[in-house]
Amino acid sequence: MNCSEVMELMQQRLDGDINDSEQRLLTEHINHCPACSEMAERLERLHMELVQLPKVGPKFSLVDAIMPALDLIERDEQLAAVESNVEPNPHAEKAVSLMTDEVPNKARIAKEHAQPKAAQRWFERIRWRATSAVIAAGLVLGLFIVNFKPPAAEEAGDFGELGKEQLLHSEAADESHGPQVTRSDSSSPVKEKPSNNDPQNNQPESPSYKALEGTGNTDRKAIEQGGQEHKAGSADRGSNSPKSKANADSKDTSSRPKKERETVSADRSSVKGEQPKTELDKGKLPVKQEGKKEDAKKDLAQEDTIRNPEKEPTKDTIAVQNDDASTEKKQVNSFGPSITSTAEATAPNGSLMATWDNGQLMLYKLDGQERTKLQTIALADKPTELLWSADSSKLTIVTPAGDGESVKLQYELKNESLEPVADAGNQAEREVIEGSVQQQQ
Amino acid sequence: MVQPELIRAAQSGDRDALITLLREIEQYVYRTAYYILNNEQDALDASQEALIRIYTKIQSYEEKAQFKTWVQRIVTNICIDKFRRMKPTVSIEEHNLTFLGNESVEREVLSSHAAHDIREAIKQLPEHHRAVVVLRYLQDFSYNEIAESLNLPLNTVKSYLFRARQQLQTMLQDYEKGGVRG
């Protein structure tokens, strides 16, 4: 027996795979062959060391670690069971192949996994459809908003700005709901002005300030002032002459008319002596805008705080400044967003509201949040301006008459109904509150 | 040893049984992966992959084979695939250098190889030789069980094992010499 054969026996002996005769031959050879004896010893030692190798285990539960993956597989399989007739898609098969290779039933498993995926894709498609439908609807609405220009709006600036303003407007609209309830500051314009930085002014309305921030003070003012009455004769007034302001503002604001229109709130300010101007501005800006803008401008000039919504509160100061102190009352009511192509104006005393909607001029009686229809007057053209007189007894309606001209109709309030007044004179116009038209898109 | 009832329950769709079964075998799966890959993180990855594969393929197990060899076949296949992908071969010469120093003194004193040396030596073995050694010594498998696990003929298993032991013995002897020289 040679050494290599003995080597084989030594190996077999380590594994217990040796019979008695082999054992005898081996022992005999080792006894007289030092090389094989040493080799046997070495192998024995190696064997013992291999046997004693530490039986390592994972330091954390592997099953726990893979449980999420198992749950996922389980779910997929259940889905597959439900929708067993969906054809597998190649993608899924690929994904699954990692786990299923070398397996006879690979195809089956792949299919099971594929089915849920297909189902998922179906859902995705549905979702996509729904999403695209929503987007399409949004686009249509957006186009409508952008393209629809009430007569007064035709000079509006570029569309980009409009878009921006609309955005802001919509925010304002949301936040200006129920403004009448929130009107809390009772301070007179005089008082309010100095209090710009006064925290007291940061009140329930502050959100709307924020929303409107950057759109110009006018909107803010409108919201803020809604439902709030400012006593006439406030010191504010004197500072600027309405006309000069109005002129200056009309330039600044020519690009903003939309904004104004969009404001949800119904603004009313009584500005005396501005009426003439409103006519000039017709087609550009609703009258009220001028008044507001004046204020806005003033505010801007006076306060940097405008940028800081919290400091802004003073907008009340905005109270229209009229040359004629006696008529000054400014009231701004804000309502929730109203329907496109309507115009509305609330009377200074807050008890009445005139709205134009689709060929009809309607008079409403306001009682808190409720409104009761009092009268309906047929009026084909959409008015560019609805102007209440300061004492809420008269309503002036300015409608476009083509060629850039406009027609002014005046109604007088008698027994809660409007009766036409033959001649809308200058005097009446002077009493009209500016900025009362609310045109919304 | 996993109970046949548990395996049957798992195969019949009892998910809890299947999870229990996986918990029973996870340490064996990990041990094989650890000694074949000689790296803890790789071993964790490979053994988790193996467990997931067992989970999904439990239906394909047939009782004519031993369950433990079926499991070991899965894990060794994964490990060998993984090993082939990542393993840059390191020559024994390079390793000699790392075994100079204090360890050689200890080895002489203890007249024994450090487990570390053995693992290093195992790492030098060709993949199938390594798998045979691991199954033989870490799973305590017989020639037949190893053959079943690796899908190799019995004689091949024996020759792999014998050659592996001889190589290991030679490598460890080299380490010792290196130590003495150092």
What is the per-residue pLDDT across A81-119, written as a single tens digit (0 to 9) for each? 887 755 545 454 444 444 444 444 444 444 444 444 455
- CA-nearest residue to B28 within chain A is A57
- Chain B residues with CB-CB distance to A65 below 8 A: 48
Residue A240 neighbours by CB under 8 Å, 6+ apart: A294, A298, A321
pLDDT band at A172 (very low <50, low <70, confident <90, very high): low
Q: What is the mean pLDDT of residues A349-373?
A: 77
Question: Does the pLDDT of residue A264 top 90, yes or no?
Answer: no
What is the per-residue pLDDT across A202-245, written as a single tens digit (0 to 9) for each? 444 444 444 444 444 444 444 444 444 444 444 444 444 444 44
Which chain B residues in 82-111 lie under 8 Å from chain A, judged by CB atoms?
none
Residue-wise burial string across B127-143, b where 16 or more C-beta atoms lie within 10 A, e elsewhere:
ebbbbbbbbbbbbebbb
What is the per-residue pLDDT across A113-138, written as a single tens digit (0 to 9) for each? 444 445 555 555 566 677 788 888 88
Pairing relation of β-strands A330-334 and A265-270? antiparallel
pLDDT band at A402 (very low <50, low <70, confident <90, very high): low
Question: Does the pLDDT of residue B119 top 60, yes or no?
Answer: yes
Does the beta-carbon distance from A99 to B47 stay under 8 Å? no
Give the Cβ contact number of residue A339 at 10 Å.
Answer: 10
> What pLDDT score was predicted for residue A185?
45
Separation CA B118–CA B101 (nearest Å): 17
Q: Which two structure tokens, joined as six digits, stand for A182?
A: 């929130």
Which chain B residues in 126-155 lie under 8 Å from chain A, judged by CB atoms?
133, 136-138, 143
Q: What is the mean pLDDT of residues A53-66?
A: 92
Residue A8 neighbours by CB under 8 Å, 6+ apart: B162
Contact B76, B149 (CB under 8 A): yes
- Chain B residues with CB-CB distance to A109 below 8 A: 56-57
Å from A105 to nearest chain B CA? 7
Q: Is A246 or A139 the better-scoring residue by pLDDT?
A: A139
Q: Is A100 or A394 the better-scoring residue by pLDDT?
A: A394
Å from A6 to nearest chain B CA? 12
Does the beta-carbon distance from A47 to B119 stay under 8 Å? no
- Tell whether B175 lies on the interface with A, counting CB pairs under 8 A: no
Residues of chain A above pLDDT 90, percent: 14
> What pLDDT score was predicted for residue B87?
57
Q: Which two structure tokens, joined as six digits, stand for A11?
A: 């190996």
Separation CA A136–CA A138 (nearest Å): 5
Scanning the structure block, which residue is given the tokens 């009809």?
A360
- Tell whether B60 lies on the interface with A, counting CB pairs under 8 A: yes
- Chain B residues with CB-CB distance to A14 below 8 A: 165
Contact A375, A366 (CB under 8 A): no
> What pLDDT score was predicted for residue A87?
53
What is the per-residue pLDDT across B127-149, written as a single tens digit (0 to 9) for each? 999 999 999 999 999 999 999 99
Å from A46 to nearest chain B CA? 6
Contact A10, A39 (CB under 8 A): yes
> What pLDDT score was predicted for residue A423?
53
Å from A101 to nearest chain B CA? 9
pLDDT band at B99 (very low <50, low <70, confident <90, very high): very low
pLDDT band at A166 (very low <50, low <70, confident <90, very high): low
Mean residue pLDDT across chain A: 62
Does the beta-carbon distance from B26 to A73 stay under 8 Å? no
Weakest-pLDDT range from A11-15, A40-44, A320-324, B26-30? A320-324
- Chain A residues with CB-CB distance to B55 below 8 A: 66, 70, 73
Separation CA A74–CA B56 (nearest Å): 9
Interface contacts (A, B; CB < 8 Å): 106
Residue A161 neighbours by CB under 8 Å, 6+ apart: A255, A256, A258
Give the Cβ contact number of residue A109 at 10 Å.
Answer: 23
Q: Is A273 or B12 the better-scoring residue by pLDDT?
A: B12
pTM score, two decimals?
A: 0.43
pLDDT band at A199 (very low <50, low <70, confident <90, very high): very low
